[in-house]
Structure 1
Amino acid sequence: MTEILTTHAGSLPRSPELIAANSARQVGEDGLTPEPTDEFRGVLRQAVADVVAKQREIGISIPNDGEYGHLMTSAVNYGAWWSYIFDRVDGLELTGEDHFSSEPVRSSPGDVRLTVFPDRRDWTIFQRAYQDPTSGITVGAQTTFPAATGPVSYSAAGRELVAQDTANLRAALDASGYATGFLPSLSPGSGSRIVDAHYGTVDAFLDAWVEVMAPEYEAIAAAGLIVQVDDPSIAENWDQINPEPSVEDYVAFTRKRVEAVNRALANVPTEQTRFHLCWGSWHGPHTTDIELRHIVGLLLEIDAKYYSFEAGNVRHEHEWTVWQDVELPEGKVIVPGVVSHATNVVEHPELVAQRIERFARIVGPERVIASTDCGLGGRIHPDIAWAKLESLVAGARIASSRL
């Protein structure tokens, strides 16, 4: 029997104790979180140990720290995967101008530019629904993010925080009997989506973020862990370009972000790298998502061993057929989402098994790891999140027995 391994996309529900401890750390006027106290470090260390132990109990094969080192002060949070980096980078400042308050930006053929968040095409098409609190659409709290007002670089505080993340996860893995796990880290392309008030050109700002993120990737890999590069920008940027560009223009625009990931990973062994692609984790219609077939070639250009992507939600589940037409390079592994953050309905294990088997029959069961579409923490109720992971493991066992 071929065992189908299981993992997830990163974020897991924070414990009430950790949320309370995070909330007690008051963010300063500069938008930064103060240095953690010894008491806070103890709470965080225990929370990571507990969440890894819970993953072991459920049967997750490849765990992480639940992204607990990424500050989250409430049970509902869609942006911690991104905003955590602001405490780790020098050159950022709260200016009052960000992608929620700035004026819309228009693109033209051959000149692709990101517009502001409220000008996303899905948000404007369904404007009434997005503004209706009874519609079921949730995008999380819209906070003010810093802008780059000087040269950006990975800070001394960032090096201490990533060292804390790796130490906490390594100790928790050892205590629970795991050989290794993964830590998610922001991509250069996603980092460069904040407002640039210093570099002046999109390409120069993107290049700067390559230098920012490389030290974090290298620190994670040096601890013997898998680096997961979180990069919704590869797919999600499509919705943030107005009017809709040609696929050719978008691919050219996005290839620079793919090359940025590869440059930032230059000193990280491919065997220790996985890449997470998604179309944005907010609960909305997603009618303007780009099709996977248009960007799967870009995905496979990324120098990673493992490719994580959404495949369980109703907007993208049908795209499993893309892999019938695309040859997965030798030595690569796909990590499709087979349970989704986008619904409160807990997937039946039989459905999970069927989703896994579709991929396994195309690329081979040894080249499939079953996962979640996106992070579950902060997006659905904790009880539902853990039930989904239990269903994920149960479905993988069914698929394993049949494959």
Structure 2
Amino acid sequence: MTANKIITTHVGSLPRPQRLLEANQQRSNGTISEDDFNEILKNSVNHVVQKQAEIGIDQVNDGEYGHITSGPVDYGAWWNYSFYRLGGLEMTGEDRWAKKEAIRSEPGKIRLTNFSDRRDRQKFREAYEDPASGILSRRATVDNPAFSGPVTYIGQDQVQRDVTLLKQAMNSHNIQEGFMAAISPGSAARLEDRYYHDEQALLNAVADAMHEEYKAITDAGLIVQLDAPDLAEAWDQINPEPTVEDFQNWLQLRIEAINRALKGIDPELVRLHICWGSWHGPHTTDIPFEYIVDQCLQVNAASFSFEASSPRHAHEWKVWEKEGRLKPGQKIVPGFISHSTNIVEHPELVADRIERFAKIVGPENVIASTDCGLGGRIHEQIAWAKLESLVKGAEIASHRLFG
């Protein structure tokens, strides 16, 4: 880590260039060779790393460009890419979460319902269905697979390609620190289970499979960021609302699965991203951070990424005032830039937000980031302007905190 400086990063997803989106569509249709696709991907990764370097981002990534999408979309790849990296799956010909029938949970037995039945969507049904409301909740209909056999990892070539392209681009632009996002076991395990019929067994199997991806990333000296919306966002996908105790019990299985997947991996190379979902909506049914933060901190990671700027979670900086909550060796990676607004945050506001956290946990334990991924949520021009503001704000805060 750089001394006497607030270092900067982001959550991962960055706007994809049009040529890469087209190549994803061509790849899905079988109208582009693998060599041609990889050449486009290589050039795109090099360009996105160059842009991050020019802006001054310290911990860069590949924009998640290596997470293959199934069409010309700039969102959803954080999850869909795992369909191509896990064995034991079979395509179902349907989008499980687009189904209309509601799935109900019971006390002590949590089950995730479909997207249209989520509690926030029920509460604001008219707003969600009004295309002029400003809510950005669209998602491409994607053919979801189901677990139909033993889960294995088959993405070795893909993850090695991603690692190689990112490392090459970092070397070309003299970048020292990089990270790569990867889906958490609990999030990957949200697909339909037609084989194990046992929640714990499925989580263990997915954890063991994803361990290979995490290890490939960290063996290359890169930070692996575990994208884990199952730890927070899933609360809204449980209908009716469960008790906090039931959710915490459900959550603990996923915390244990993450640590199982991280066995033997240096925590210094692990970042946990805690996510309430990146769609633009009211989010009135988000679970308060206070109810889950201590469980999240059980993950064997050195840094923890979370929303700190969205209108729904900006007040939760207070959770870090509890003495002893952040353990020695742990750092926080708050989002000082929001993906949920087109307004570009002023650098002075970014600096003020950084200083607030720095005064609580110490400036050496704060890494400046974004709330969530920017790709697919805001226009490319605005996304890059926000990252520029993040860097400028971190420079202001660094001057104030370190002199």
TM above 0.5, yes or no, is yes
Q: Match for 1:190: what amino acid?
A: S
- Is the 8 Å Cα contact of residues 94 and 147 (structure 1) preserved in structure 2? yes
Equivalence for 2:146:
147
Equivalence for 1:57:
54
Distance in 2 (alpha carbons) for counterparts of 1:91 and 1:104: 27
Equivalence for 2:128:
130
Distance in 2 (alpha carbons) for counterparts of 1:125 and 1:254: 24
Equivalence for 1:113:
111
> By how many angstroms is 1:397 displaced?
0.7
- Is the 8 Å Cα contact of residues 112 and 253 (structure 1) preserved in structure 2? yes
CA RMSD of aligned residues (A): 1.6
Distance in 1 (alpha carbons) for counterparts of 2:69 and 2:333: 26
> By how many angstroms is 1:43 displaced?
1.2
Q: Match for 1:333: what amino acid?
A: K
Equivalence for 1:15:
17
> By how many angstroms is 1:100 displaced?
2.0
Equivalence for 2:5:
3
Distance in 2 (alpha carbons) for counterparts of 1:288 and 1:351: 27
Q: Match for 1:294: what amino acid?
A: Y
Relative to structure 2, which stretch is displaced further, 101-110 or 375-384? 101-110
Q: Does 1:384 align with 2:382?
A: yes
Q: Residue 338 of structure 1 aligns to a residue in which SS?
A: strand
Relative to structure 2, which stretch is displaced further, 69-78 or 197-206? 69-78
- Is the 8 Å Cα contact of residues 20 and 73 (structure 1) preserved in structure 2? no
Relative to structure 2, which stretch is displaced further, 258-267 or 200-209? 200-209
Distance in 2 (alpha carbons) for counterparts of 1:89 and 1:111: 27
Q: Which runs of 5+ in 2 are unaligned?
A: none
Provide Cα deviations, 1:275-303, integer angstroms capped at 9, x if missing partner. Answer: 10110011111000000011110111011
Distance in 1 (alpha carbons) for counterparts of 2:254 and 2:29: 31
Q: Match for 2:282: what amino acid?
A: P
Equivalence for 1:31:
none
Q: TM-score, normalised by structure 1?
A: 0.95
Change (3 A) 1:210 1:380: same
Equivalence for 1:372:
370
Distance in 2 (alpha carbons) for counterparts of 1:307 and 1:27: 38
- Is the 8 Å Cα contact of residues 26 and 32 (structure 2) preserved in structure 1? no
Q: Does 1:269 align with 2:266?
A: yes
Among 357, 360, 367, the residue aligned to 2:358: 360
Equivalence for 2:314:
317
Residues 325-336 of structure 1: pairs in structure 2 closer than 5 A: 325-326=322-323, 327-336=325-334
> By how many angstroms is 1:35 displaced?
9.5
Among 65, 79, 82, the residue aligned to 2:76: 79
Q: Aligned residues, how many?
A: 396
Provide Cα deviations, 1:167-226, integer angstroms capped at 9, x if missing partner. Answer: 001101111111230000000000011111221122222122112211000100111111
Provide Cα deviations, 1:65-89, integer angstroms capped at 9, x if missing partner. Answer: 1101012466753311000111111
- Is the 8 Å Cα contact of residues 78 and 282 (structure 1) preserved in structure 2? no
Among 157, 162, 177, the residue aligned to 1:160: 157
Change (3 A) 1:74 1:388: farther
Q: TM-score, normalised by structure 2?
A: 0.95
- Is the 8 Å Cα contact of residues 75 and 378 (structure 1) preserved in structure 2? no
Percent of aligned positions that are identical: 55
Q: Match for 2:217: what amino acid?
A: I
Equivalence for 2:169:
172
Equivalence for 1:241:
238
Among 14, 20, 36, the residue aligned to 1:39: 36
Equivalence for 2:182:
185
Equivalence for 1:300:
297
Q: Match for 1:103: what amino acid?
A: E
Distance in 1 (alpha carbons) for counterparts of 2:28 and 2:296: 39
- Is the 8 Å Cα contact of residues 76 and 379 (structure 1) preserved in structure 2? no
Relative to structure 2, which stretch is displaced further, 205-214 or 274-283? 205-214
Q: Match for 1:368: what amino acid?
A: V
Equivalence for 2:223:
226
- Is the 8 Å Cα contact of residues 341 and 372 (structure 1) preserved in structure 2? yes
> By how many angstroms is 1:123 displaced?
1.1
Change (3 A) 1:94 1:74: closer
> By how many angstroms is 1:143 displaced?
2.4
Q: Residue 375 of structure 2 aligns to a residue in which SS?
A: coil
Among 16, 21, 24, the residue aligned to 2:26: 24
Q: Residue 304 of structure 2 aligns to a residue in which SS?
A: strand
